[in-house]
Amino acid sequence: MFYIVFILPAAVLLIIIYCKQASASKYYVVERAGSSLGIISHNELKGQIKRIGNGTHVIVYFGKRYGYSISRNGYLSKIDPKTDKIILQKKVSNDTVDFCLSKNLIAVADYKPQNIVILNKEFKVLKTVNAGSRNIGVEFYKHYLIFELMGKDEIWVVNLNNFKVVKKISHIGKFPIDALVSGHNYIAAFLIGQKFGVLNLKTLKYHIIDYGKKGNFPGQIPHYGIYSVFNGSAYIPAVGEKKIVVVNLKTEKETNSVKLIGYPIFIIFSPNRKTIAVNYSGSAHNYLTLIDAEDLKVIKNIKAGKRIMFMAFSGNSGLIYASDYFGNSVNVFSVSNGKEVAAIPVQSPSGIFRVPNKLNKSTIKINIGGIK
């Protein structure tokens, strides 16, 4: 009996240590109404980074040393994660929802004016590319910059050695809304129809992969994000259907699908690549779903709040943070059992971005925050 009593506190102690380690990372969460980034550490709101610009849509990426954000009204900010202070800011657009980083450059895809702005890390404008369209899906690849023209259904490729447009691809698909680079492929997503486009960045040849029937826009834009390609397959939020489609990028065939409780928006993988998380638009917008990445079985549907805008895994994949926009809270759940472990008061939270523990070691691109 004495031996059993000794074992139980030890197990409880291990769980407590695990939870503390899982929650030790720092997170930035977009506070839409306050136009600020909330700072979460040890599952508490520690402060704010204020005056980042219009908070209705904010993206945060991390480079080798600094964080960078872009607001909906075009304020580009350079953030020091050690002090949580803005050290440089420049208005580069009147309306934007997308930007990207390379080792030395930043590119901002504008809605208004209808340009692509290329800057160095000190925010000196090096080139403005007049596209004559709202732009999105901007990505760097070696000496190329690639982006989608929403109003023209085109993809343009810019050579960064001379800033000239070297390739224009027309009729890429209807209403491009997102993109990502996986290996040497630029993968374009569309709002209309169940298909995606693949641009080979070695040959600059383009083709379309059709993976299903025509879908209907569910009311909130599904995203590819950056974690939806894994082990050579694309994990796609099916437009107008309550499922994820898995397509092998080599064979260009659908290999699997996962039925869901709602229309998926974001699909993200845990850092250890063992778990997939999905959030929803429509009637299931208060849920998130955890899926086993190996067998693609639903682990648990979690009622995570009133409206879940975005999610982020902890660094060790043990916890998932969910921004509950209507609930004014970031809710934290155990991945292993789906139980809530914390509820952090945050005003009108949207995108959540985990600050890398070792910023000086690598360039890390974190999931998109907010809804385009």
Instruction: Kindly list the distances between the CA atom of residue 70 and the CA atoms of 55, 92, 98, in Å, as whole numbers in the listed order.
Output: 9, 9, 8
What's the pLDDT at 365?
41
Q: How much is the average pLDDT of 261-266?
A: 92
pLDDT in tens, 66-76: 999 999 999 99
Which residues touch 333 (CB under 8 Å, ≥6 apart)? 302, 304, 319, 320, 322, 339, 340, 341
Taking Cα atoms as reference points, which of 175, 127, 126 lies closest to residue 148? 175
Inform me whether the pLDDT recorded for 226 exceeds 80: no
Q: Mind listing the pLDDT tens digit for each residue in 92-132? A: 999 999 999 999 999 999 999 999 999 999 999 999 999 99
Summarize the confidence of residues 72-100 as an average pLDDT: 97
Q: Which two tokens stand for residue 285?
A: 């917008």
Half-sphere exposure of 203 (CA within 13 A, CB side): 6
55 token code pair: 């908070």
More confident residue, 198 or 15: 198
Is residue 358 over pLDDT 80? no
What ranges do the domains of the chain cover? 51-210, 232-372
Q: Mean pLDDT of all residues in the chain?
A: 87
Among 84-88, 298-302, 365-369, name the one with the lowest average pLDDT.
365-369
Q: What is the pTM of this model?
A: 0.86
- pLDDT above 80 for 205: yes
Residue 255 burial class via C-beta count within 10 angstroms: exposed 0-12, middle 13-18, buried 19 and up: exposed
pLDDT of residue 214: 54
User: Residue 4: what pLDDT?
Assistant: 34
Nearest-angstrom CA–CA distance, 347 and 121: 31
Which of these, 339, 334, 309, lies nearest to 324 by C-alpha position?
A: 309
Over residues 250-267, the mean pLDDT reads 91
pLDDT at 212: 65
Whether 51-210 shares its CATH topology with 232-372 is answered yes
Q: How far is CA 17 from the centre of its chain?
A: 29
The domain over range 51-210 is classified in CATH as 2.130.10.10: yes
Residue 18: φ, ψ to 5°: -60, -45
Residue 360 confidence class, pLDDT cut points 50, 70, 90: very low
The whole-number pLDDT of residue 372 equals: 34
Which amino acid is it at 258? V
Distance, CA of 134 to CA of 272 (rounded, Å): 36
* CATH code reported for the domain at 232-372: 2.130.10.10
Comparing C-alpha atoms, which of 322, 348, 350, 326 is closest to residue 334?
322
Cβ atoms within 10 Å of 112's Cβ, excluding its own: 12
- Give the residue with greater pLDDT, 269 vs 366: 269
pLDDT at site 158: 98
Compute, in degrees rounded to 10, the torsion defined by CA atoms 282, 284, 287, 292.
Answer: -100
